[in-house]
Structure 1
Amino acid sequence: MKALIGLLLLVFGHDVSSVIHSLQVFSTASSGLSTFPEFVIVEMVDEVQVDYYDSNTQRIVLKQDWMDQFYSNEPGGDSLERETEKRKGHQQVAKVNMGTLKKRFNQTGGAHIVQRMSGCEWDDEDGTTDGYQQYGYDGEDFLSLDLKTLTWVAPVHQAFPSKLRLDHKTAYNQLLKNYHTKECVDWLKKLLAYGKSTLQRTERPRVSLLQRSPSSPVVCHATGFFPNRVVVFWRRDGQELHEQVDPGEVLPNHDGTFQVSVDLDLTAVPQEDWGGAVCGPAERHRGHLHNPGPRPHQDQRGGQSHPCFHPHCSHCCSCRCCCCCCWSLSVPEEEQFRQASQTSWF
């Protein structure tokens, strides 16, 4: 990387007193896809996958070790079997609803997908809760429940028959509200207790600067962090850069941690700013993760504080641009949709 002599790497954590925990269930029904199961359910706690079910195996695969203990300790000792039977029921309902939607859209063949996202959220500080149930068809929004009014929102005209039918089911809609704001939250709290060592752990990011050629964008890559609360950005002369910056989304790693990259187009940096020497070796970055106190960085040209100074800086770059990774130590944190979801979706 000839264009850059060094890097200012900014990594710091901050405590957030309030944490919003989440339980999510993603259901996917498909038609016309021979290589994909006709029905799949994935359950997530604080965006960490905890189980998987599909129509091919018709069984629940637990994705976290602590989920074995969770189901073993549930009253009756057969809760995993009961949960499996419920998902088989969801599978049959999904097949019926796929046929309903294909008729609504006047479709006879081809590949089609019905998606459902349901879940709940719980603020562990003030105790507030929220929930949602949304449906999509072939990648477009189809139907969603408004928990405040207990009515259904239909963004496409093919969903109006479903809206009219469901809006009149007041007892059913009240049952859904009770599930999303209470039953789901109670289930979530149990899962959080069993998975505390995994869901509330903290793993610090490893950050590197990458560039394929002197004219290509510079990539600030942070990986290996958990939870997924992270912000990566570029700064120059203490000011955050927005133009010519291509922010990436946080993606999962195979080991359960996360990664993210943010690209900087070098044309965003005036050519007259290229030059000079740098400070801060990589070892200072690693040590600084555990000691986020203020520390100035010395410019080797004259002993002055680097223009990208920040109390959590550890590397500087000759173009006076800083790759900044702000990592939250807080853990961002859904019982599966139960009896109410056994009824026809549409």
Structure 2
Amino acid sequence: MMKSLLMLLLFCHTASPDKYYLNMNVLLSSGIPNVHEYVGMDIFQGVSIFYFDNSMERERVFLDWVKDLIKNKTHEWEEYIKGCMDYFHTLKADTTSFNQNSSQSEGGYIIQQSISCTWDDETDQINGHSRYGNNGEDFIAFDMMTWVALDAQAETIKKEWDANESRNTFWKNFIKAACFDALKKYYSFGKSYVNRKELPSVSLLQKTPSSPVRCHATGFYPDKGLIFWRKDGEEIHEGVEHGNILPNQDESFQMSVDLEMSSIPSEDWMRYDCMFELPGVENVIIMKLDKDVIESNYKEPGILGKEVNLSEISIIVTAVMAILIVIVLAVLGFMTHKKTMLNGKKLKQLTKLKLSSYL
């Protein structure tokens, strides 16, 4: 559970409308079980480049093209990773005051920072920010000019940091130089990988017969996919609830959209479908709203309120039939036995009568 939370926090604020973007994410924690004190990850175009934490001797690299980058830029890479590791002490000193007045900090805290730079390779425009989060909530951010308090408790820190002109100059230069330099290296080695387009597998899911039907797409890339419900070929919004785009462990993405079924008559189901499309790809995926293709692990309420599935029902029916057969055989056996006993009794009576008549 904590590992999933950690990954979600590291992926915060990775989306960007610009053509290429890099997020340099670090996370600092204290008093949180199963979470390392210091964690870092670079994310280029939604793709995890490397991961490290304070318990590791070496960073963990995920992709072959990143390994090629390291091989060709070994010295620069080692200097970069060393800087990421050493930044732990700076981050800790800069954020000491974040939780001093926060009730959420009791028993532990999590602070995250996302340093982001964006680049349009057509206009060569560079932009970016440095954003801090405090216990999962946006706290304070630098917008290349000044600090912006995103939480009331950050107002004092904003005034203190804005009064330090050298600090603002440092972050502006860092975003335009160090972050952009790393982004260009990732672009030069990984552009063919991050510019690929992959369609997902799409399925229809439903928890219970009265639950919304979920159209779930997983395995698409990049994270620009669109998914929606249609009626008679037209997109609908009423009774529809969209989920967020989430990362998969293989660097692809997943998303879903739910359709409320309570007001849709069964005879109208075939008028509805779910459509997924990926910008730049001609092919689209369409799933008809069909009971036969909906996947569910729903179990019908069984005997004494216990839920049983169809296989369990089959077993129960078989057992009941076997018991009934045994009962029927027993009754037939009893009746046969009783008939035999009666016939024997009559035979004895007749024999006695004949003998007495003879005597």
* Deviation for aligned residue 1:214: 4.2
1:248-290: CA deviation from partner (whole Å, max 9, x where unpaired): 2222223222222211112343x3x825xxxxxxxxxxxxxxx
From 182, 186, 195, the counterpart of 2:190: 195
1:53 equivalenced with 2:46 (yes/no): no
**1:98 & 1:58 partners in 2: Cα distance?**
25
**2:140 & 2:173 partners in 1: Cα distance?**
19
Structure-2 residue corresponding to 1:125: 122
TM-align CA RMSD: 2.5
* Count, aligned residues: 265
SS at match of 2:100: helix
**2:240 & 2:105 partners in 1: Cα distance?**
45
AA of the residue aligned to 2:248: N
Q: Structure 1: any 5+ residue segments left out of the alignment?
A: 1-17, 276-316, 331-346
TM-score w.r.t. structure 2 length? 0.67
Listed as ranges, the matches of 1:29-48 within 5 Å are: 29-48=28-47
Comparing both structures, which one devotes a greater share of its residues to helix? 2
Indicate conservation of the 8 Å contact 2:26/2:38, yes or no.
yes
| Residues 151, 19 of structure 1: alpha-carbon distance in 2 compared, 3 angstrom cutoff | closer
AA of the residue aligned to 2:62: K
SS at match of 1:33: coil
TM-score w.r.t. structure 1 length? 0.69
**1:218 & 1:238 partners in 2: Cα distance?**
18
SS at match of 2:131: strand
Listed as ranges, the matches of 1:100-111 within 5 Å are: 100-105=97-102, 109-111=106-108
From 278, 293, 299, the counterpart of 1:327: 278
| Residues 107, 322 of structure 1: alpha-carbon distance in 2 compared, 3 angstrom cutoff | closer
Greater length-normalized contact order (CA 8 Å, ≥ 6 residues apart):
1
Structure-2 residue corresponding to 1:263: 258
Structure-2 residue corresponding to 1:87: 84
Structure-1 residue corresponding to 2:267: 274
**2:187 & 2:104 partners in 1: Cα distance?**
43
1:170-198: CA deviation from partner (whole Å, max 9, x where unpaired): 24323322332344223212211101232
**1:106 & 1:241 partners in 2: Cα distance?**
43
Indicate conservation of the 8 Å contact 2:18/2:118, yes or no.
no
Indicate conservation of the 8 Å contact 1:222/1:259, yes or no.
yes
Q: Structure 2: any 5+ residue segments left out of the alignment?
A: 1-16, 282-359
The structure that has the greater radius of gyration is 2
* Deviation for aligned residue 1:156: 3.7
Report percent identity of matched pairs.
35
1:211-243: CA deviation from partner (whole Å, max 9, x where unpaired): 455433222222221112111111112332112
Which segment is superposed worse, 127-136 or 79-88?
Answer: 79-88
SS at match of 2:97: helix
**2:201 & 2:45 partners in 1: Cα distance?**
22
Structure-2 residue corresponding to 1:5: none
